[in-house]
Amino acid sequence: MKIGVVDFGGQYNHLIYRRLREVGVDAEMFKPELPVEEVEKKYDGIVLSGGSFNIPDDLDKIGNSIDYVKKFTKPILGICLGHHIIAYVFGGSLSRSNPEFGEVVVYVDDEDDILEGMGRSFIAWESHNVEVSKEPELFKVLAHSDFVRVQAMRHISKPIYSVQFHPEVEHTENGIQVFRNFVKICRR
């Protein structure tokens, strides 16, 4: 099994790659210019990483990632920027938020597959100034924090998940569990 990490140049992207390797998966980083047909052939799942772009203002900077969300038929995990891209593609609302940089408490409303084993609440690391203010119609909210209503969500019928927080950094309690869960989803 191989999982691809879409590299938008975010400061923590190498940590996503490292966490996937730590849970025993072959992982590879790639730029978003790779055609979706190649991504489909090469990977059993993809992670849309974080980055400094704001959606929809910077759509011209995220390469083929819109196509990945629309056409990739295998599991997808969006983290921060990836969370925003997924919400945008499926018709959710994004808005500027008060910048959050640092630790926040995330409250799990429904652990579903992706947050399984994270507990009812946990400390997570945030680094964003845009948030999903309204989830897309076909998505279910899985977690929230005091200031962000959509900390985690999933598509109701497709294996598409996303989180606002950064599970890859050591400041997120047991964040590696999110990657274990994603790998389990990819293995189905």
Q: Which residues are catalytic?
A: 80, 166, 168
How many C-beta atoms surround the C-beta of residue 188 within 10 A?
8
Does residue 75 have a cis bond before it (omega within 30 degrees)? no
Main-chain dihedrals φ then ψ at residue 71, nearest 5 degrees: -115, -20
> Which amino acid makes up residue 79?
I
Q: How many CA atoms lie within 13 A of 184 on its CB side?
A: 12
